[in-house]
């Protein structure tokens, strides 16, 4: 079962896991009204992450044994509504971890490069190092990592967590700092121009959605004995807006890019530039497959298809 199932990762992740485990065996949940396509794709249930009894009911009624907890306000949007981020990201985590303990569920919670801060080494950022994030999103993710590890050591809960870089997909981004690398494709395809809210030299770790889903799905299946940690850094590449534009210019001429940094620049400046995922490579053979050129090609294809299908923009 997924919480926050209609966010950036949920729908695609459900498709991926339904292919693997069967359509009826993967339940999406959220509080958003789903499209017809989502309902046709497989089970979808309304449940609010803040409603513990409602969550209990879903687990009992559907004999849930695995929980993938995606509900969260991302970095930029979290700063705009801190009380809501505290509720969704922190209280929501309290609910799902207790639920997992009560019903002996396996639980996966994504973390992020945003769980690091200006005191962390930024290039590279190792798996275990100082984490003093300066966003409520980052604080909530460190809280989730520590709570999950605590429940693992104290109660034997099978808690797993991957720290993702910016995940790049054709689906609409949800208020993150790395989202420029998605929005740029939509704007270039639709308008031939893009105004970037980060400076051209801002380096951040990134990954195409396909690698992110494969990382998640492979990690879920690693036997416990092979895991030396519960939280692993994963990444595929690092690039700057300028380098992304350079790679995109091989596909499109006459792109007009302007730069107008806003408050997201401060967030990006406090995050890792290069993410060290050697622990994941060592313990469970993690290996990304999609590099920058492939990512750009895939994104042009995927976003064009979406724009042509429904004129969708982010």
Binding-site ranges for ligand AKB (CB under 6 A): 74-75, 112-114, 137, 166, 176-178
Least separation in angstroms between CB 92 and ligand AKB: 16
Which residue lies nearer to ligand AKB by CB, 99 or 182? 182
Of 9 and 257, CB closest to ligand AKB: 9
Transcribe 57-75 into DSSP letters: HHHHHTT--EEEE-----H
Give the whole-angstrom CA distance, residue 15 versus residue 180: 25
Q: How many residues does the chain have?
A: 314
Query: Smallest distance, Å, CB 74 to ligand AKB?
Result: 4
For residue 97, give Cα distances in angstroms to 17, 28, 44, 150, 153. 22, 18, 21, 10, 13
Report the C-alpha gap between 259 and 8 in whole angstroms.
25
To ligand AKB, the closest distance from the beta carbon of 183 in angstroms equals 12
Whichever of 52 and 259 has its CB closer to ligand AKB, that residue is: 259
* In the block, residue with structure tokens 């790395």: 178
Instruction: Determine the residue with CB nearest ligand AKB.
Output: 176
Measure Cα distances from 145 to 46, 67, 82 in Å: 26, 15, 19
Q: Which residues are catalytic?
A: 137
Collapsing DSSP to helix, strand or coil, 256 comes out as strand
Residue 134: count other Cβ atoms within 10 Å of its Cβ: 18
Q: Do the Cβ atoms of 228 and 278 come closer than 8 Å?
A: no
Q: How far apart are CA 109 and CA 142, in angstroms?
A: 11
**Distance of alpha carbon 80 from the chain centroid:** 19
State the minimum distance, in angstroms, from the CB of residue 115 to ligand AKB. Answer: 8
For residue 294, what are the contacts with CB-CB under 8 A and spacing of at least 6? Answer: 208
**Closest CB to ligand AKB among residues 89, 112:** 112
CB closer to ligand AKB, 105 vs 120: 120
């Amino acid at each position: 079962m997924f919480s926050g199932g209609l966010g950036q990762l949920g729908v695609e992740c459900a498709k991926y896991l339904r292919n693997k485990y069967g359509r009826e065996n993967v339940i999406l949940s959220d509080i958003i009204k789903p499209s017809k396509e989502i309902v046709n794709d497989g089970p979808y249930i309304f449940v609010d992450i803040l409603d513990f009894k409602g969550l209990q009911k879903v687990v009992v009624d559907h004999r849930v044994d695995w929980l993938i907890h995606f509900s969260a306000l991302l970095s930029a949007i979290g700063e705009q509504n801190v009380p809501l981020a505290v509720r969704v990201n922190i209280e929501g985590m309290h609910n799902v971890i207790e639920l997992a303990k009560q019903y002996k569920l396996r639980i996966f919670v994504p973390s992020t490069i945003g769980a690091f801060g200006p005191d962390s080494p930024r290039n590279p950022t190792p798996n275990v190092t100082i984490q003093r994030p300066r966003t409520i999103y980052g604080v909530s993710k460190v809280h989730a990592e520590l709570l999950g590890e605590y429940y693992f050591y104290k109660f034997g809960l099978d808690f797993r967590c991957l720290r993702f870089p910016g995940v790049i997909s054709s689906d609409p981004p949800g208020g993150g700092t790395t989202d420029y690398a998605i929005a740029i494709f939509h704007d270039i395809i639709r308008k031939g121009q893009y105004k970037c809210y980060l400076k051209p030299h801002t380096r951040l770790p990134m990954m195409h959605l396909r690698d992110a889903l494969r990382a998640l799905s492979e990690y879920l299946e690693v036997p416990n004995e092979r895991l030396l940690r519960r939280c692993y850094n994963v990444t595929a590449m690092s690039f700057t807006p300028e380098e992304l534009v350079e790679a995109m210019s091989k596909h499109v001429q006459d792109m007009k890019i302007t730069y107008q940094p806003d408050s997201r620049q401060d967030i990006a400046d406090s995050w890792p530039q290069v993410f060290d995922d050697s622990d994941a490579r060592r313990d469970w053979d993690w290996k990304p497959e999609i590099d920058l050129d492939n990512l750009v090609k895939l994104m042009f294809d995927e976003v064009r298809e979406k724009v042509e299908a429904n004129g969708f923009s982010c």
